Amino acid sequence: DEGLLFDNRGTSEAALVQTIALGESPQDHAQFELTVAAKATLGVQAQRHPFIELSWLTAQGALTGAPTQTEVMPGDMGESQIVVTRPATAAQAELRLVAPAHTSLLLQRVGLRAVQTVTVPINFVAQSPGELVVRNLAVAYDVGEAVSPPMPVGGLCTPSLPGPRVGKSATECCFCPCCQEETEFVAPNPVITPAGSPAQIGRCANCGAALIRMGGTLAAARPNELAAFQPRRVVAGRPAIVRQVMAPLAIFQPAVVALPPLTAIAGIGQARATQLGQMGIDSVAKLAAARPDEIDGLRGVSREMAIGFIRAAQRLV
Q: Could you give the CA distance from residue 17 to residue 68 in angstroms, rounded to a whole number?
A: 14
Three-state DSSP class for 316? Answer: helix
Give me the pLDDT at residue 103, please: 92
- Measured between alpha carbons, how far is residue 59 from residues 21, 90, 111, 115 in Å? 9, 7, 22, 21
Give me the pLDDT at residue 212, please: 83
Same-domain pairing of 93 and 184: no
Does the pLDDT of residue 94 top 90, yes or no? yes
Q: Domain for residue 17, yes or no?
A: yes
Give me the pLDDT at residue 255, please: 64
Does the pLDDT of residue 222 top 80, yes or no? no
Q: Domain for residue 40, yes or no?
A: yes
Same-domain pairing of 50 and 111: yes
* CATH number where 79 lies: 2.60.120.260
φ/ψ of residue 194, rounded to 5? -60, -25
Give me the pLDDT at residue 236, please: 60
Question: Averaged over 198-226, what is the pLDDT?
Answer: 78
Amino acid at 79: E
Give me the pLDDT at residue 163, please: 56
Same-domain pairing of 92 and 29: yes
pLDDT band at 138 (very low <50, low <70, confident <90, very high): confident
Q: Domain for residue 91, yes or no?
A: yes
If phi > 0 it is left, if psi is from -120 to 50 it is alpha, else beta; for residue 136 that is: left
Same-domain pairing of 100 and 178: no
Q: Domain for residue 63, yes or no?
A: yes
Q: Domain for residue 219, yes or no?
A: yes
Question: Averaged over 278-289, what is the pLDDT?
Answer: 84
Return the percentage of the chain with pLDDT > 70, whole number. 83
Does the pLDDT of residue 27 top 70, yes or no? no
Q: Domain for residue 185, yes or no?
A: yes
Q: Could you give the CA distance from residue 2 to residue 38 in angstroms, rounded to a whole number?
A: 10
Q: Could you give the CA distance from residue 101 to residue 13 in angstroms, rounded to a whole number?
A: 5
Identify the CA nearest to 291 among candidates 278, 281, 282: 281
Does the pLDDT of residue 235 top 80, yes or no? no
Whole domain around residue 208: which residue ranges?
Answer: 170-223
CB 3 within 8 Å of CB 108: yes
Q: Domain for residue 162, yes or no?
A: no
Q: Could you give the CA distance from residue 199 to residue 188 in angstroms, rounded to a whole number?
A: 9
Question: Averaged over 34-41, what is the pLDDT?
Answer: 90
Q: How many domains does the chain have?
A: 3
Question: Averaged over 202-230, what is the pLDDT?
Answer: 75
